[in-house]
Amino acid sequence: DTEVTQTPKHLVMGMTNKKSLKCEQHMGHRAMYWYKQKAKKPPELMFVYSYEKLSINESVPSRFSPECPNSSLLNLHLHALQPEDSALYLCASSQAGGAGTDTQYFGPGTRLTVL
Amino acid sequence: GQNIDQPTEMTATEGAIVQINCTYQTSGFNGLFWYQQHAGEAPTFLSYNVLDGLEEKGRFSSFLSRSKGYSYLLLKELQMKDSASYLCAPFSGGYNKLIFGAGTRLAVHP
């Protein structure tokens, strides 16, 4: 089973709202990722968690706040977003966060619209 | 810095063979992944190469030359469902950091 699930599938929010995106995997993977993808562009890495610790933050604005409550769950808390933050947010997981080739498996994404 | 170059668009005929090239310049290179992404869907893993040479998986093959910073994805016996974007993604560093190329949109025609 290589399934990564994400909720919600779609989210519309105002610029003053606070919302959260959720990601879950039950493959025993110890690395989890958040990507942002704009239309007709490739995914852009935002954050990497390795063994539940934040290991990479790609200079993401603080209005995006990741959280990894346990090895199976990854959240992305959103606050005071801008319309240009509208995009598809993809979660991925892989076996381990260390060196080596770890295939990343992606969830279906959350399509976010900021009004 | 990171630089990944692949063609923006390609077209091919059902049943034919197509080769999608990717050149890259990345720091700390450890290997290269290819992903397929249908419009509005998540990327799905196709292949990865760590060593130079050809990796074959059914109708898909991927080649890597580390010294030339070059890879290609070969798709045989094309089917209409192969119409998608194909993302070249060098992998670098100790934290499984994937940097995606802009992607090649492949259109397969009858």
* pLDDT digit string, tens, across residues B16-63: 999 999 999 987 788 899 999 999 899 999 999 989 999 998 999 999
Closest alpha carbon to B59 in B18, B93, B96: B18
pLDDT at A101: 55
Chain segment A81-99, per-residue pLDDT in tens:
999 999 999 999 998 755 4
Contact call for A90 and B91, based on CB within 8 A: no
From A97, A106, A107, residue closest to B96, measured CB to CB: A97
Residue with tokens 């390795």: A50
pLDDT at A99: 46
pLDDT at B59: 96
Measured between beta carbons, the chain B residues lying within 8 angstroms of A100 are: 30, 96
Task: Using 50 as the pLDDT threshold, list the residues of chain A that sit under it.
Answer: 99
Whole-angstrom CA distances from B36 to A20, A58, B83 are 28, 24, 9
Q: Which tokens hold the place of A41? A: 């562009």
pLDDT at B94: 61
Please enumerate in sequence order all residues whose Cβ is within 8 A of that of A39, keeping only pairs 6 or more positions apart, or say none: none
Contact call for B102 and A41, based on CB within 8 A: yes
Q: Which tokens hold the place of A49? A: 């968690």
Rounded to 10 degrees, the C-alpha dihedral A9/A2/B17/B84 comes to 10
Helix (H, G, I), strand (E, B) or coil at B81: helix
Angle formed at CA A64 by CA A106 and CA A46, multiple of 5 degrees? 40
pLDDT at B97: 79
